[in-house]
Structure 1
Amino acid sequence: MSPLQLAVTALLTIAGIALQIWSSAASQAERQYALQLPSVLLYSLAAALFLFSVFPDSLTEGRALGFGVSGAAGFAAFFMLISFAWLAKTRPRDELAAQLKSAERENAALRRKLKGERLSGEGPRPLARSTRYDAPLRGSRRHRIGVVTGNIANVVGVDVWVNPENTRMEMSRIDEPTVSAAIRYHGGRRDDAGHLVDDLIAKELAERMDGRQHVSPGQVLLTESGELLESHQVRRIVHVAAVEGEPGSGYRQVMDLNRCVRNILTEIDRIAEAGESLRSLVLPLLGTGGGNSDLHRTVDTLLAAIVSYFEAYPASRIRAVYLLAFTDVQEAICRTALDGHPEL
């Protein structure tokens, strides 16, 4: 047996083993039957090549469906016929495993939905821990959509933070319980006592306004991240006009959330194409802080807009988008929406 034949035999065998191990994973339960067929073919070719290289005078003959086969082809055909007959018996088990996996997903989504409805009646509780959960976009290895929980001030290692602002682009005071306040405080320069002494991000945002009093709903402005670069590894802040103010009535969510998401992702991709490494972002639930919005509708709208953007721009440099769930109610609703989305 020549070294080349030995190498090819080993390669076919290793490929068959690797394919079979991968196809046996729990995540492949719905298609293990189909995935094992090419594995059998690799085993057959490896066995045929080995036997008829070591024993070149051996002979295997047979006839099937009116065709005559002999030699290595006959052996491979015989081996595959036996293997397919055995694999056919496993197909019902694969189908049952697929049904079970689907039922488990549906049950998990239903439990989260019921939990979200129950928690909505009890009142939301802020989440202390920052945890991440994401899922790949169907048919794409590049893009993932997920949820990060807790206060945005505890999120570390995400390239871009989105700041939901009003159409005046006036950041919240640092002692207010908002994302805008957290970004303003942690992005500014502070003294040893923790007092803000240089309002870096708010000052840059005012410069970006360039004397304007308002921007259009959904418009975005980009600033540096100030001290957040060193403390949280945040490279950029994207400020989006997500709420509109009305005298005597306060702020309300802008009508076109799709435009907000599209403008955010487009701006990040524009900067990334210019050379900046911006691969991930955390997106708060735009306009829900004041309570004047439908939380379920907001989450569904944001999620659909992110999926639509990635489908329209499959070459987008953005790898992961995380919805920010500050409370247990928001987490339950976000998790349910992700689990139930057909593209994830």
Structure 2
Amino acid sequence: MTVFTVSGIALQIWSSQPQRAGRQYALQLPVILLYSLAAALFLFSVFPNSMAEGQTRGFRIGGAAGFAAFFMVASFTWLSRTRPWDELAGQIKKLLRENAALRRRMSAGRDSGGSPRVLSKCTRYELPLGGDRRHRIGMVTGNLANILGTDVWVNPENTRMEMSRVDEPTVSATIRYHGGVRDSAGQLTHDAIGLELAKQMTDRTHVAAAQVLVTGPGELEETHQVRRIVHVAAVEGEPGSGFRQVMDLERCVRNVLTEVDRVSADSSPLRSVVLPLLGTGGGNSDLEATVTRLLSATVDYFHSHKGSRIRVVYLLAYTDVQAALCRDALDREAGLTGD
């Protein structure tokens, strides 16, 4: 009896928390069952000779079961009247999240004076996949060079797999520089990752869009606890026009995550991945659409690969505008849950 009562109280407190607004009606059903059983046990332990019987749907119920059934039917009748309030609470919760997202976007634009502001602080935000608590998707803010403890860094590369020069403001340059050996003056003396990638391209001049190649992390393993670099052909170059984002971003994501899982099967598991906003560095792409497509593709991958060894994928938000868009997309994504 005590166990049922305490369990019912604990479950009711948990289900009544604000983040479960919109689902509290369904969550109250097991609470009623626990209270019904506790009440029946209490009554028949104090009054062992008492009787309770009735008939419902052609079945005759008596004793403690009859009392519990009566208590449950009465409770369900009362609880059914609260369902509209749950639905209203769910709508209010959705509107509050949309309002908060709008405030973040307006604040980002206002604080940056109309231009993106580079984020100096490395913070993480993640949500579990609905119906699959093993897998999570989120974002990490700031410079990639400041992110520690993530197994895989994804490098958005061109179809020629030619890494950026180390003094360029790109993800490729960051990976190349920090993955190499440097002297006391900070000059690159051994281009570990660049040379390994170039070696894989010895017999070819380019790869297909969305193709992936995997290299070691070079010095990043010691300094940032990175275990693999996955290079994905996310941009295509054209003489006189520069680079543009490849058309099939979803295939880029699938290929990256598939390759990470393949490598995990051959070695120790790779649990976490940092995924930059592929192909947006040059400003020739729709940033909001890119975030939405990358997120949707990641959700789809986890839904179709329940056994994936990857536990969390982080979108990389380098600026306040990118962070606002990533946070909004995560909060709006139907495949994720904020509980």
Distance (whole Å) between structure 2 residues aligned to residue 229 and residue 50 of structure 1: 62
The amino acid across from 2:37 in the alignment is L
Q: 2:228 aligned with 1:242, yes or no?
A: no
- 1:132 maps onto 2:120 in alignment: no
- Larger deviation: 112-121 or 330-339? 112-121
Distance 1:313 1:155 in 2: 27
Q: Does 1:76 align with 2:68?
A: yes
Q: 1:259 aligns with which of 248, 251, 254?
A: 251
Residue 326 of structure 1 and its aligned partner are, at CA, apart by 0.8
TM-score relative to the length of structure 1 = 0.88
- CA–CA distance in 2 between the matches of 1:92 and 1:142? 32
Instruction: Tell me the equivalent position of 2:40.
Output: 48
For 2:55 and 2:171, the matched residues in 1 are separated by 74
The alignment's TM-score, normalised by the length of structure 2, stands at 0.90
Contact residue 126 and residue 150 of structure 1 kept, 8 A: yes
* Deviating more after overlay: 92-101 vs 200-209: 92-101
* 1:103 corresponding residue in structure 2: 95
Report if the CA contact (8 A) 2:109-2:116 is conserved.
Answer: no
* 1:279 matched residue in structure 2: 271
Retained in 1: the 8 A contact 2:101–2:324? no
Whether 2:295 is the aligned partner of 1:303: answer yes
For the structure 1 residues 186 and 81, does the alpha-carbon distance in structure 2 shift closer, same or farther, using more than 3 Å as the test?
Answer: same
* Equivalent of residue 329 in structure 1, options 312, 317, 321: 321
Shift of 1:151: 0.6
Counterpart Cα distance in 2 of 1:119 and 1:333: 15
Distance 1:63 1:249, change over 3 A: closer
Q: Distance in 1 between matches of 2:55 and 2:231?
A: 73
1: distance between equivalents of 2:159 and 2:57?
Answer: 75
Asked whether 1:160 is paired with 2:147, we answer no
Task: State percent identity of aligned pairs.
Answer: 67
CA-based RMSD: 2.4
Distance 2:130 2:180 in 1: 39
Structure 1 pair 293–68 and aligned structure 2 pair: CA distance change class (3 A): closer
User: Which runs of no fewer than 5 residues in structure 1 stay unpaired?
Assistant: 1-8
Alpha-carbon distance in 2 for matches of 1:167, 1:85: 64
Q: Are the counterparts in 2 of residues 116 and 333 from structure 1 also a CA contact under 8 Å? A: no
Tell me the amino acid that sits aligned with residue 62 of structure 2. S
Q: Greater CA deviation, 107-116 or 143-152?
A: 107-116
Deviations 1:17-50 (A, max 9, x none): 3322321222211121221121111222233235
- Kindly report structure 1 stretches of 4+ aligned residues shifted beyond 4 Å: 61-68, 113-121
Amino acid at match of 1:259: R
Moved more, 273-282 or 334-343: 334-343
Question: Displacement, 1:252?
Answer: 1.8
Q: How far apart are the structure 1 equivalents of 2:99 and 2:256?
A: 34
Once the two structures are TM-superposed, the CA of residue 263 in structure 1 deviates from its matched residue by 0.9
1:83-232 alignment, distance < 5 Å: 83-115=75-107, 122-232=114-224
For residues 212-270 of structure 1, what are the alpha-carbon distances to aligned partners after superposition, in whole Å with 9 as ceiling and x for unaligned? 22111111110111121122111110011111222222222222212211110110011
Return the alpha-carbon distance in structure 1 between the equivalents of residues 60 and 297 of structure 2: 58
SS of 1:251 mapped into structure 2:
strand
From 1, 11, 18, give the equivalent of 1:26.
18
Contact 1:148 1:322 in 2 (8 A): yes
SS at match of 1:141: strand
1:314 aligns with 2:306: yes
In 1, Cα distance between the equivalents of 2:42 and 2:317? 58
Show CA shifts across 1:81-103 (max 9, x none). 44335434543432332221111
Look up the SS of the partner of 2:275 in the other structure: strand
Deviates more, 1:253-262 or 1:66-75: 66-75
Which residue number corresponds to residue 60 of structure 1? Answer: 52
Amino acid at match of 2:307: A
**Kindly tell me: are residues 81 and 298 of structure 1, through their superposed partners in 2, closer, same or farther at Cα, counting changes over 3 Å?**
closer
Code of the residue aligned with 1:108 in structure 2: it is A
Distance (whole Å) between structure 1 residues aligned to residue 319 and residue 113 of structure 2 = 13
